Amino acid sequence: MRSLLLASTMLGIAAATAAAQSPAQNAEPPVHQNTTAQPTEPPVTRSFDPAAMDTRVDPCVDFYQYACGNWLKHNPIPADQSRWVRSFSLVQQRNQYLLWKDLQAAASDPKTPLQKKYGNFYASCMDTSAIDKLGAEPVLAAWKEIATLADAKQIPAMLATLENKGQPDGFFDFGVQQDEKDSSKQIAEIDQGGISLPDRDYYIVENAHFAQIRTEYVEHMKKMFTLAGDTPEQAAKEADSVMRIETAMAKAFMSRTEMRDPNKVYHIYTVADFQKMTPNLDWSLYFDHIGIRHFDTLNVAMPDYFQALNGMIASEPLDAWKSYLRWHVLHGMARDLSTPFYNENFAFFSRTLAGQKEPLPRWRQCTMQTDRALGEAVGQDWVKQNFPPAAKQSMDKLVSDLDHALAEDIQSLPWMTPETKKAAEEKLAMIRNKIGYPEKWRDYSSLNIDRTQFAENEERSAVFERDYNFNKLGKPVDEKEWDMTPPTVNAYYNPLFNDINFPAGILQPPFFDANADPAVNFGGIGVVIGHEMTHGFDDQGSQFDGKGNLRQWWSEADQKAFKQRTECVANEYSHFEAAPAQGNAPAVYLNGHLTLGENTADNGGLRIAYMALQQALKDEGKSLDEKIDGYTEAQRYFIGFAQVWCQNTRDAAARQAALVDPHSPGKWRVNGTVQNFGAFARAFSCKKGQPMYPVNSCRVW
């Protein structure tokens, strides 16, 4: 899956793994992993909280501050976070606590073979004493393999050897995907990859800020190589080699914005032609050694990258490639190694680049890693306790309401011709709704877990996931498969499946509360549903038909009108500031084209959820003007929506997100959408020309 960029479009906050900080902010005390903190049960977050509001602010001037001002003031970012969001962070914290209870019980007294498996994985992660005794040992076997490289022609076989042992190796991403022009097929695909910093800009943008980051990255690599046994001189030489290679790779990378166009990442080659294009890489060696079944064609998503990589194979000395491979094994396993490695990895990638001051408590780290490795195993027990059938039934009703509202919205569009409206409605009718958890759980019986071997468990899990993906090649698509685990606080739309997916983890307050009034639930989970549905018709999703195939199903006139409206949204958001100037770091603004899909979905979701609320209240004989606790239902809808996105973010995380995250920050997910929706202005009696009711606004859906 090409993560956030194509195969699925997500609702939420992408994890901030790296970002930039000015040098003065890096003078911090040494970090130490928090292995002793004990969890306490977090409270349930209210869906509508008047105490979070700052009613001194005019909602027509800054609605985000009006709805969230007091929450922002009284909820500083915890030391173990890079950002703190009233919805995602608090629900995630509670879900992890509930999952931790299951893992603790499974680790100490398992009742089933499956519980024993995930209990042992969790226990191995928590055993930091055993992990510390190993030091660098988990990477040394791979390093010995790398040392045997005698010729650059052997690199493809070496990559396969490392991958077969669950070791990360860089270079590129290879796997099995649906064919974007025939979504019933599953084909081989190879994508750009191989850099360690979060985006190509960190390597190639020439300013003092990024130059400082690059200097600190090299220093970090030196420290890691030295911890693993290199002399300082060896470490310095290796770090320089890695930086040179990764910089060359970054220069050949396609930008994240370019990758949003699915036609630009679809290039079917025969294996023979791909080999001719890259003669310095023996693909038969690689494909034969990794154990995937035979194939004759594949999608080479970024041909220019592989042509550049081919040239690098010939131009870089063999020792430099050995250093590169050594680094990617070491870096890829850093979180699974002893405390000195963990702390140094945290100090650079989490503190320096993301602003996080302290590591998460070990119990939270291990809960998250167990969920990643065995998500549909732990999820089976989690949903039994935390997602009752009544919640699923309520979601089914809400999805149906939003479906009708979007169909009505499509019919009302003044810029779309009847023929394209008909095609859009046909696609909408074909969207599959997946709610809570999979109908069929994955089988983990072939995954071996040892209670005393955490690093090996992670490696075996990596091989298990890779082989699971490889086994799809040439087989029918499983339309019931999920890309998220049940406790996940997120949702997504997959254009190749043409489905919307709502894990049980997000179907909790403040997103959904069975005890809340309809306005609050429609402003919370209703907007989430509408957001995911709208992704089927954003700048990416609109290029796929109802069967998930990449093809032009619009008329040319409608496509032109759609493009004009999406450009309005892109230009609007490009003027929103993501982070102010600070130290040697200049002010950063959103990339309106990178965030276009999410912004389109935010605007569409807010509108169609409001339409669905109107109908739901009408069915109950009520209206939007009726008041509860001093606020009309219309006002409660918008306030409930805004309070989902109350968010405090460290400067470093904000800068990183502006480069890599297709989502806008909370402030603009709120203010950017309400200023485009006249119903908000009516609800709060705004005057034309006020910031939240501009003279010119944008609307796609």
pLDDT one-digit tens code per residue, 213-226: 999 999 999 999 99
pLDDT in tens, 678-688: 999 999 999 99
CB-CB contact of 492 with 531 (8 Å) = no
92-101 mean pLDDT: 97
| pLDDT tens for each residue of 454-470 | 999 999 999 999 999 99
Taking residues 472-500, what's their average pLDDT?
A: 97
Say how far apart CA 604 and CA 610 lie, in whole Å: 10
Q: Which two tokens stand for residue 245?
A: 């290679």
pLDDT of residue 13: 57
- CATH homologous superfamily for the domain 64-87+389-436+489-543+559-581+591-701: Collagenase (Catalytic Domain) (3.40.390.10)
The neighbour count for residue 425, using CB atoms within 10 Å, is: 15
Mean pLDDT of the 392-410 span = 94
**Spatial CA neighbour of 307 closest among 243, 384, 252:** 252
Helix (H) or strand (E) holding 433: strand 432-436
Q: Where are the alpha helices (DSSP H) in 592-665?
A: 596-619, 633-644, 651-660
Residues pairing with 493 in the sheet: 9, 500
Radius of gyration in angstroms for the set of CA atoms belonging to the chain, rounded to a whole number: 25
Phi, psi (degrees; rounded to nearest 5) at 593: -85, -35
The answer to whether 697 and 39 have CB atoms below 8 angstroms apart is no
Contact 472, 176 (CB under 8 A): yes
By the 10 Å C-beta count (0-12 exposed, 13-18 middle, 19+ buried), 456 is classed as middle
| Contact of 204 with 247, CB cutoff 8 Å | yes
232's tokens: 């300082």
pLDDT of residue 293 exceeding 50, the answer is: yes
pLDDT interval class at 30 (50, 70, 90): low
Low-confidence winner among 65-69, 113-117, 192-196, 583-587 (lowest mean pLDDT): 583-587
Tokens 């650079």: give the residue.
Answer: 348
**Which structure tokens are listed for 202?**
């960190």
| Architecture of domain 140-336 in this structure | Orthogonal Bundle (1.10)
What's residue 392's pLDDT?
A: 86
Residue ranges per structural domain of the chain: 64-87+389-436+489-543+559-581+591-701, 140-336
pTM over 0.85: yes
